[in-house]
């Protein structure tokens, strides 16, 4: 693997390998771009098959965070960390504190948080060695469960997409199919029910289904049948890669807008949605509410301010659609262009020379 060639191609700034013999820590921190501010991104703990897989994962995730933060209008860059190991067996206070020391050594260039395989307790241990961490316990100033914010942001983005299609934010009477009604999906259903939307839902967890049926009168369909349901809006809120060769031509909707990550199996499926006249709200833009919420912790968490920030996802999706029409490109490309334009403009502003 030619790491420097890859870093040069995609504009990475730093790749840090961290090893602690005493605790067995094997961590990699990737900082993609800090034009807008320090790199924020969670720490993932995973039992990778090999070190090259870990490197590629952390690089891919860090770059994704740059675009997500830029599109969200945050003054943050993109970074990520991975720890090679079994999250069920290999954790210890000492390991997390050793990792915290490495984070501290970057002097604020990288701010960590929870991710796959990591918990609030883990971040509390990291916090003993560095202040450059978010997603800690409430006693340490955390913002708590991000699911309600992620759901609210998804709802606002859905309204923006609806306005483009139907000329109104009002979702009353619209049929919305929600794929996955766990934490985020549940709160999204709550907003939609309050708006008077008709809900069709699918999930593999019966308790989650029972909850939304009881509280919101949702209609349940089998997991695979969700793609064939007649609806106005399809909201994927669980698995990634759900827009693929098998499903894209089965959709009977005008809008795809949900909280799941990596909704498109491949970029070309975004092209196919556009060809079918379906508005796609790009995942990393519409699901940024959780990131916005945790980013507020860096300023001393204020919940009212966090809710207000998350509400701007409406404007972000509207801007993506505007760029899509301006440049005649699919919305997934327009989202990247929006992020890149912001990074480029702020980079030039911050490049202005100030004599001291």
Q: Is the per-residue pLDDT at 6 higher than 60?
A: yes
Mean per-residue pLDDT for 168-193? 97
pLDDT bracket for residue 354 (50, 70, 90): low
Specify the domain boundaries for CATH 3.40.50.10860 within the chain. 3-64+77-137
Q: pTM for this one?
A: 0.90
* Phi, psi dihedrals of residue 188, rounded to the nearest 5°: -65, -45
Q: Is 80 a catalytic residue?
A: yes
Catalytic residue among 26, 80, 198, 254: 80
Distance separating alpha carbons of residues 294 and 40, to the nearest angstrom: 10
356 C-beta neighbours (distance < 10 Å), count? 2
pLDDT of the residue at 348: 84
Looking at 1.10.287.130, 3.40.50.10860, 3.30.1390.10, 1.20.1560.10, the CATH number of the domain 3-64+77-137 comes to 3.40.50.10860
pLDDT of the residue at 353: 60
Q: How far is CA 48 from CA 23, 51, 240, 300, in A?
A: 18, 7, 20, 35
Q: Is the per-residue pLDDT at 289 higher than 70?
A: yes
Mean per-residue pLDDT for 156-167? 98
Distance separating alpha carbons of residues 53 and 208, to the nearest angstrom: 34
Asked if the 147-341 domain carries CATH number 3.30.360.10, the reply is no
Mean per-residue pLDDT for 19-41? 97
Residues contacting residue 88 through CB under 8 Å, at least 6 positions apart: none
Specify the domain boundaries for CATH 3.40.50.720 within the chain. 147-341
Sequence-separated contacts (24+) of 213-218 with Cβ below 8 Å: 215/190, 216/189, 216/190, 216/192, 217/193, 218/178, 218/181, 218/189
């Amino acid at each position: 693997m030619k790491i420097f060639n890859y870093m040069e191609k995609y504009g990475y700034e730093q790749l840090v390998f961290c090893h602690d013999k005493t605790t067995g820590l094997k961590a990699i921190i990737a900082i993609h771009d800090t034009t807008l501010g320090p790199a924020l991104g969670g720490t993932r703990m995973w039992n990778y098959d090999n070190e090259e897989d870990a490197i590629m994962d952390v690089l891919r995730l860090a770059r994704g965070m740059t675009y997500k933060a830029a599109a969200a209008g945050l003054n943050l860059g993109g970074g990520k960390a991975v720890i090679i190991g079994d999250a069920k067996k290999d954790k210890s206070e000492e390991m997390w504190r050793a990792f915290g020391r490495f984070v501290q050594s970057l002097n604020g260039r990288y701010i960590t948080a929870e991710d796959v395989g990591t918990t609030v307790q883990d971040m509390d241990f990291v916090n003993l060695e560095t202040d450059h961490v978010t997603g800690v316990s409430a006693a340490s100033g955390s913002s708590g469960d991000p699911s309600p914010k992620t759901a609210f942001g998804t709802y606002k983005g859905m309204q923006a997409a609806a306005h483009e299609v139907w000329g109104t934010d009002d979702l009353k009477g619209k049929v919305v199919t929600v794929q996955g009604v766990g934490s985020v999906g549940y709160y999204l259903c709550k907003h939609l029910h309050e708006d008077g939307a008709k809900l069709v839902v699918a999930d593999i967890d019966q308790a989650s289904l029972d909850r939304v049926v009881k509280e919101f009168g949702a209609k349940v369909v089998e997991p695979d049948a969700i793609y064939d349901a007649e609806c106005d809006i399809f909201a994927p809120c669980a698995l990634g890669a759900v827009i693929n060769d098998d499903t894209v031509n089965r959709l009977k909707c005008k809008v795809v807008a949900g909280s799941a990550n990596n909704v498109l199996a491949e970029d070309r499926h975004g092209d196919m949605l556009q060809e079918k006249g379906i508005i796609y709200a790009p995942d990393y833009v519409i699901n940024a509410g959780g990131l916005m919420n945790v980013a507020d912790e860096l300023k001393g968490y204020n919940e009212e301010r966090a809710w207000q920030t998350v509400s701007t996802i409406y404007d972000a999706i509207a801007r993506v659609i505007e760029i899509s029409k301006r440049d005649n490109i699919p919305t997934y490309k327009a989202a990247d262009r929006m992020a890149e334009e912001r990074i480029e403009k702020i980079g030039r502003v911050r490049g202005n020379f100030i004599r001291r």
